[in-house]
């Protein structure tokens, strides 16, 4: 059997840099802070780290609004700090991935500042500029993820520009080959500095199909429900009909893959969603495009029952069995923490949080493909539901508070020592988000030293995982089975068939060769 590429079985640890470790007492995490904690990450036994954006940015969406793709935001450090970070990571045997935002940039980026000035400047068509309708209204019915129209009026050009997120995040026009060339230059800049791959943010929101722009169709399956999704007008529409997952996106993914292939064993992981996410994933990972897609099946905001977990896994695996073209995750910086949101659907109380979190970690790292573990999952951190509205930072949450608290609930700073000021995250008087007092009982360095912690148990499991041919030498698995409270499947390689059983009644995992 051919050897798999490193990314086909990788366990990737996601770091939200603003909340990981502050090294200069300003209350905000930074790159030197991450470097100082790499021993902790390496001790866990993961294969790679993925760092959310740290580029120059006005921070209106905390780094996902980039004003310079090839420099570091002052709050996070310098390019020299990044070089130190990647050198130390590689010394410890950790690959390093960074987060590129290819669909949109900040309205403070020099590209947009030039483009907005007139209709005939050199960057005039680097963004989506469209004349108003005869009555002056926006050109289509497209809506923003964060609320309101996806079009904003620019007086200088007397035109609307497109933004799928905040108005300060204008969408790049990927119909223009110069835009794609600029982004492949960004890839080369970071590959030359040694990065091992990219997580490509929201690639399904790249817009490259040009006029005439079409309205989205109505979603016939829409049912009003709880925030954040079912009460937003955005979800009343089918977006793949016009606004999202446009065919022209693949010109970008093919160009980016071409650059990655120039550098050897690099990894491109695309975050995407859509009306048919499995079909979208197949399209994005066709030969010559992205290596894998970041799968949303297990990230449902309100959690999943055992049956729903089985269906979510089965739907994804059915399309990709035998490949490493999927990346699974239960948590990230955009959804409530899995240790909290999975309790109610599974009929469990908070006293079962640690056992459940460990079970979920074992489950996701036994599925085919790679896995992303979000900072704090290894500690069974709970979601933080008591952030005062006046201390919220997430623009999505601020828009809909207090009915919806946004994404701050999973972004509070890491805590390292229960007895240290601010849990060891920072010596500042105030941190950018408040320290979660409930997390102090599972502070990272304390848990790494405690034999009975989730960190220790997961670290031991990852060491065992690396010795199992069925998990490391093939990406083949059987159909799912088990009782109403179990998820059972076989992982299969030429050397081994390993039966994996995850019991949500006893909250234990068991494994046997068959």
CA atoms lying within 13 Å on the CB side of residue 78? 4
CA atoms lying within 13 Å on the CB side of residue 179? 28
3-state secondary structure of 156: coil
Query: Distance between CA atoms of 139 and 127, rounded to whole angstroms?
Result: 15
Query: Distance between CA atoms of 377 and 13, rounded to whole angstroms?
Result: 10
Query: Distance between CA atoms of 125 and 136, rounded to whole angstroms?
Result: 21
Q: Which of 131, 178, 261, 262 is catalytic?
A: 262
Q: Give all strands of the β-sheet with 508-513 in edge-to-edge order.
A: 476-477, 486-492, 497-503, 508-513
- 50's CB contacts (< 8 A; 6+ apart) are 12, 13, 14, 15, 97, 98, 99, 199, 372
User: In terms of Cα–Cα distance, which of 59, 55, 49 is closest to 89?
Assistant: 49
Per the CB < 8 A criterion, the answer to whether 25 and 174 are in contact is no
Cα dihedral sign, 361-365-367-371: positive
Q: Which of 22, 99, 201, 490 is catalytic?
A: 201
Two structure tokens written together for 431: 């941190």
Query: Distance between CA atoms of 451 and 449, rounded to whole angstroms?
Result: 6
CA atoms lying within 13 Å on the CB side of residue 4? 22
Neighbours of 467 (CB within 10 A): 8
- Find residue 55's DSSP bridge partners: 72
Has 394 been annotated as catalytic? no
Has 262 been annotated as catalytic? yes
The residues annotated as belonging to the active site are 201, 262
């Amino acid at each position: 059997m051919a050897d798999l590429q490193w990314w086909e079985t990788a366990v990737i640890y996601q770091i939200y840099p603003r909340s990981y470790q502050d090294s200069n007492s300003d209350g905000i995490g930074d790159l030197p802070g991450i470097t100082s904690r790499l021993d902790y990450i390496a001790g866990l036994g993961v294969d790679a780290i993925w760092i959310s954006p740290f580029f120059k940015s006005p921070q209106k969406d905390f780094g996902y609004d980039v004003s310079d793709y090839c420099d570091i935001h002052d709050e996070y450090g310098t390019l020299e700090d990044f070089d130190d970070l990647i050198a130390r990571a590689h010394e410890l045997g950790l690959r390093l991935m960074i987060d590129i935002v290819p669909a949109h940039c900040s309205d403070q980026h020099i590209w947009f500042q030039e483009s907005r000035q007139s209709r005939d400047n050199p960057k005039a068509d680097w963004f989506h500029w469209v004349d108003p309708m005869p009555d002056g209204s926006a050109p289509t019915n497209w809506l923003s993820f964060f609320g309101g129209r996806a079009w904003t009026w620019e007086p200088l050009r007397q035109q609307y520009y497109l933004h799928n997120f905040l108005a300060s995040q204008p969408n790049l026009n990927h119909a223009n080959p110069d835009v794609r060339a600029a982004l492949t230059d960004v890839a080369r800049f970071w590959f030359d500095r040694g990065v091992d791959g990219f997580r490509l943010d929201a690639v399904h929101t790249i817009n490259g199909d040009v006029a005439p722009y079409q309205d989205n169709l109505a979603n016939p399956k829409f049912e009003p429900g709880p925030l954040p999704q079912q009460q937003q007008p955005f979800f009343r529409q089918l977006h793949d009909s016009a606004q999202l997952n446009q065919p022209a996106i693949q010109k970008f993914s093919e160009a980016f893959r071409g650059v990655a292939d120039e550098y050897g064993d690099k990894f491109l992981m695309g975050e995407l969603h859509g009306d048919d996410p499995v079909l979208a994933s197949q399209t994005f990972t066709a030969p010559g495009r992205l290596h894998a897609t970041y799968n949303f099946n297990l990230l449902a905001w309100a959690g999943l029952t055992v049956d729903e977990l089985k269906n979510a896994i089965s739907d994804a695996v059915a399309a990709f069995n035998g490949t490493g073209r999927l990346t699974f995750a239960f948590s990230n910086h955009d959804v409530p923490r899995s240790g909290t949101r999975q309790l109610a659907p599974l009929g469990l109380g908070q006293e079962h949080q640690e056992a459940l979190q460990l079970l979920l970690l074992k489950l996701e790292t036994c599925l085919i493909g790679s896995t992303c573990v979000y900072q704090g999952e290894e500690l069974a951190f709970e979601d933080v539901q008591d952030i005062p509205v006046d201390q919220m930072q997430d623009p999505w949450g601020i828009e809909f508070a207090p009915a919806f608290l946004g994404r701050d609930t999973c972004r509070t700073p890491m805590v390292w020592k229960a007895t240290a000021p601010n849990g060891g995250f920072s010596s500042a008087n105030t941190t950018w988000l408040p320290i979660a007092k409930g997390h102090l009982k599972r502070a990272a360095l304390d848990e790494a030293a405690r034999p009975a912690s989730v960190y220790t148990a997961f670290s031991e499991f990852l060491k065992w995982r690396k010795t199992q041919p069925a998990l490391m030498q093939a990406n083949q698995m059987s159909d799912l089975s088990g009782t109403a409270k179990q998820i059972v499947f076989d992982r299969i390689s030429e050397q081994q068939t390993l039966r994996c059983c995850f019991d949500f009644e006893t909250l234990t995992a068991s494994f046997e060769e068959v």
